[in-house]
Amino acid sequence: MTKSIVARAALCLVVLSLIVPSLVFGHAVVFPKASTTGAYEKYVLRVPNEKDVPTTRVEIHFPAELRVSSFGDVPGWQLEVLTDSAKKIVGAVWTGTLAPHRFVELPFVAANPKTAATLVWPVFQTYGSSEKVEWTGAQGSKTPASSTSIAPAAESVAAVKTPSPWVSYAALGLAVLALGLALRRPDPSTSR
């Protein structure tokens, strides 16, 4: 009976470790989440379709501190580059068709600010039903805006390599549980 409970607990931990990251990144997110001051970075806006109708339009407004220089081609999507009166790129609009339960990655290259900053990425997702979702909210809200931390090289490397504490605790717990099960000797009274 205790083996069954332990096995169920281990299975629950594994399932949770797989589900939680997908819930966190189920919205329009710009990757990477951390980068270096002054660097030229390839950013990718990942947009999943969480509705039962196609996504037909994705719009992003770029942080003022960032200098966007180019975009990658995405098959099936048309790009409109938004500029201000000085011809600085301030945003982009992609139009196409993203079926339900699919995602698209929209790449672009930009020069990061020369000083530490947190870049916030407002994204607007429009569906075939004309519904528009604004990914502009605060972290923890239903529709959070994605953000990227910009820091000097030593700090940004540490930020990228430092995993969340719960991931470490879950991995340690699974390792101890697996070791315990592996080292457990069978009961001599049951082996006849």
Per-residue pLDDT of the chain (192 residues; tens, 9 = 90+): 455 554 454 444 443 443 333 334 458 999 999 999 999 999 999 999 999 999 999 999 999 999 999 999 999 999 999 999 999 999 999 999 999 999 999 999 999 999 999 999 999 999 999 999 999 999 999 999 999 999 998 754 445 555 556 656 666 666 676 666 666 666 666 555
CA distance 131 to 80: 20
Query: By C-alpha distance, which of 50, 32, 25 is closest to 133?
Result: 50
Model-level pTM greater than 0.85?
Answer: no
Q: Which residues contact residue 57 at a Cβ distance below 8 angstroms, ignoring those fewer than 6 apart?
A: 93, 94, 95, 124, 125, 126
Question: Long-range contacts: 131-134, Cβ < 8 Å, 24+?
Answer: 131/51, 131/53
- Confirm if 134 and 58 have CB atoms less than 8 A apart: no
Residue ranges of domains in the chain:
26-160
What CA–CA distance (Å, rounded) separates 136 from 125? 11
Instruction: Please tell me the predicted confidence (pLDDT) of residue 80.
Output: 98
- Secondary structure letter of residue 8 according to DSSP: H
Domain 26-160, CATH: 2.60.40.2230
**What confidence score (pLDDT) does residue 156 get?**
46
Give the separation between CA 132 and CA 59, rounded to whole angstroms: 11
